[in-house]
Amino acid sequence: METVYLDNSSTTKIDDLVIETMKPFLSEKYGNASSIHALGIEAKKVLEDSRKIIADSINADLGEIIFTSSGTESNNLALKGIAFANKEKGNHLITTKIEHKSILETCKWLETQGFEITYLNVDSEGFIDIDELKKAITGKTILVSVIHGNNEIGTIQDLSVIGEICRARGIYFHTDTCQSFTKTELDVEKQNLDLVSLNSHKIHGPKGVGALYIKKGIKIDSLLHGGGQESGIRSGTEDIHGIVGFAEAVKLADEKYIDLMAELRDKLIDGILKIPGSRLNGAMGRERLCNNVNVSFRKVEGEAICGLLDEEGICGSTGSACAEKTLDPSHVLSALGLTHEDSNGSLRLTLSRFTTREDVDFVVSVLPGMINKLREMSPL
């Protein structure tokens, strides 16, 4: 049975070319970028070349990219690092109710350290209200952190507008772009961004590698202390093979894939919405990530749908309470105003540039039967 992989927001297949580029740095080119001999100098060169590729891709300067171990670490570094380095300016941060857990759990922890956090609401499509943001800003606000493309529902926030407001008020603006990076426009100058979290494994690169863009001149505290790597901000010997793979993945991410994915996304959405009792979660068109489909089915449990899909070799995911391993369904779907029943009946299918028309046709052909079968069995 062939695998139809539609869980690309969880992680992606590593591109074969990325693997080939990484291989020498796992074997003969094993130098430490801090060493002063030939192997070390070679590692340092490739480290800086990789940094340049990633910096260029978001219109940043070389010295503004710090490598980390993940999107999670980048988000932690951005929030904790800015909060503690700017304590004398204020203790208030603003974020949204639909952030990834690596932001929300960091915010919860910051609350225990004396910081105050405002969690902005979103509308039924997942957009924040710009007036609510403006009203939330106080004289003590030091940072606004808003996710760019949402990992569950695909809604893309307008970074430029938020960035302009923050810049005018002298407040730092951080955005988590782990899902949107290479899938929609990202330009730190045009969009007034101060801190940007990136990672590699969502764009066909290796797991365990991330980066944080920090605008030149911004004071930030470190989470990791040690040998002073990464401009003293993130100590620890750099993961050269991972970073090389990350940079290669960025090089391979061509803009042409955005429209191709969006076309297949819309074909999948149109096919699925023909099923009675289904609804799309999140925004439409260009304000939705080109690879995201999130649909709720009435009177069906999302985890059961994923189980039946899996039997056919189709990998998907759900925001149902069972899958979240808690009593509560997805915090993102709840923030949109979905009932528990609709959240529990959600299915997320996320595409990549490797997704084919045949993959989409296959899902659209088998899904209606699965939903019917589950509804016939349902006590609801």
Ligand X SMILES: Cc1ncc(COP(=O)(O)O)c(C=O)c1O
Q: Which residues are catalytic?
A: 322
Count of residues near ligand X by CB under 6 A: 14
* Residue placing its CB nearer to ligand X in the complex, 205 or 302: 205
User: Which of the stretches 83-91, 133-141, 173-181, 298-306 binds ligand X when contact is defined by CB under 6 A?
Assistant: 173-181
For residues 267 to 306, the per-residue mask of contacts with ligand X, x marking binding by CB under 6 A and - elsewhere, is ----------------------------------------
* Residue placing its CB nearer to ligand X in the complex, 207 or 298: 207
By DSSP bridging, strand 141-145 and strand 195-199 are unpaired
Minimum distance of ligand X from residue 372's CB (angstroms)? 32
For residues 131 to 150, the per-residue mask of contacts with ligand X, x marking binding by CB under 6 A and - elsewhere, is ----------------x---
Kindly identify the residues of this chain, within the stretch 44-83, that bind ligand X according to CB under 6 A. Answer: 70-72, 75
- Of 102, 155, 191, 352, which lies in the binding site for ligand X, with binding defined by CB under 6 A? 102
What gap in Å lies between CA 144 and CA 142, rounded to an integer? 7
Q: What is the 3-state secondary structure (H, E, C) of the chain?
A: CCCEECECCCCCCCCHHHHHHHHHHHCCCCCCCCCCCHHHHHHHHHHHHHHHHHHHHCCCCHHHEEEECCHHHHHHHHHHHHHHHCCCCCCEEEEECCCCHHHHHHHHHHHHCCCEEEEECECCCCCECHHHHHHHCCCCEEEEECCCECCCCCEECCHHHHHHHHHHHCCEEEEECCCCCCCCCCCCCCCCCCEEEEECCCCCCCCCCEEEEECCCCCCCCCCCCCCCHHHCCCCCCCHHHHHHHHHHHHHCCCHHHHHHHHHHHHHHHHHCCCCCEEECCCCHHHECCCEEEEEECCCCHHHHHHHHHHCCEECECCCHHHHCCCCCCHHHHHCCCCHHHHHCEEEEECCCCCCHHHHHHHHHHHHHHHHHHHHHCCC
From its phi and psi, is residue 329 left (phi > 0), alpha (psi between -120 and 50) or beta?
Answer: beta
Minimum distance of ligand X from residue 69's CB (angstroms)? 8
Residue nearest to ligand X (CB): 71
Query: Quick check: 317 binds ligand X (CB under 6 A)?
Result: no
* Residue placing its CB nearer to ligand X in the complex, 278 or 330: 330
User: Which of the stretches 124-132, 176-184, 317-325, 355-363 binds ligand X when contact is defined by CB under 6 A?
Assistant: 176-184
What gap in Å lies between CA 192 and CA 189, rounded to an integer? 5
User: Which of the stretches 171-179, 276-284, 320-328, 365-373 binds ligand X when contact is defined by CB under 6 A?
Assistant: 171-179
Query: Quick check: 176 binds ligand X (CB under 6 A)?
Result: yes
Minimum distance of ligand X from residue 309's CB (angstroms)? 20
* Residue placing its CB nearer to ligand X in the complex, 42 or 230: 230
Alpha-carbon torsion (302, 342, 131, 95), positive or negative: negative
* Residue placing its CB nearer to ligand X in the complex, 44 or 288: 288
Query: Quick check: 179 binds ligand X (CB under 6 A)?
Result: yes
Beta bridge partners of 141: 92
* Residue placing its CB nearer to ligand X in the complex, 72 or 157: 72
Query: Quick check: 100 binds ligand X (CB under 6 A)?
Result: yes
Kindly identify the residues of this chain, within the stretch 209-238, that bind ligand X according to CB under 6 A. Answer: 210
* Residue placing its CB nearer to ligand X in the complex, 76 or 355: 76
User: Which of the stretches 174-182, 188-196, 304-312, 323-331 binds ligand X when contact is defined by CB under 6 A?
Assistant: 174-182
- Of 66, 144, 156, 178, which lies in the binding site for ligand X, with binding defined by CB under 6 A? 178
Judged by the rule CB under 6 A, the positions of this chain that interact with ligand X are: 70-72, 75, 100, 102, 147, 151, 176, 178-179, 199, 201, 210
